[in-house]
Amino acid sequence: MSKSHSTNRTVTWLLNIVKLIGLFALYQLAMIPTMMPAIRHGFSATATLIAGVASLVLLGSLIWWLVTIYRRQAPIVTSLSRPTRPVLTIVGLFILVELGNVLAGLIVKKTPENQVILDKVFTTNPVINVVMMAVLAPIVEELIFRGLMYRWLFPRVTNWVSFTVALVFASLVFALAHTLLFSPALLVYLPIAVVLTFTYVWFNDIRYSIALHIINNSLAMVGMLTLLSR
Provide the pLDDT confidence category of residue 19 given band limits of 50, 70 and 90: very high
Most confident residue range from 96-110, 118-132, 188-202: 188-202
Given pLDDT bands bounded at 50, 70 and 90, which one contains residue 145?
very high
Max mean pLDDT among 9-23, 36-50, 95-109 falls in 9-23
Query: How far is the C-alpha of 82 from the C-alpha of 129, rounded, in Å?
Result: 35
Whether 35 shows a pLDDT value over 80: the answer reads no
- pLDDT value, residue 216: 82
Give the angle subtended at the CA of 193 by the CAs of 98 and 218, to the nearest 5°: 45
Beta strand segments in 128-172, E? 156-157
Residue-level pLDDT at 92: 76
| More confident call, 104 vs 202 | 202
Closest CA to 163 of 81, 53, 70: 81
pLDDT tens for 185-194 read 677 777 788 8
Q: Which residue has the higher pLDDT, 169 or 6?
A: 169
Tallying the residues shown for the chain, one arrives at: 230
Residue 60 parent element (H or E): helix 45-72
Tell me: the pLDDT tens digits for 60-104?
A: 999 999 999 999 999 888 877 766 776 777 777 777 777 766 666
* Chain mean position to CA 227: 23
What does the alpha-carbon distance between residue 62 and residue 139 come to, in Å, rounded to a whole number? 10
**What average pLDDT does range 207-229 have in this prediction?**
77
Beta bridge partners of 78: 157
Regarding predicted confidence, which is higher, 100 or 179?
179
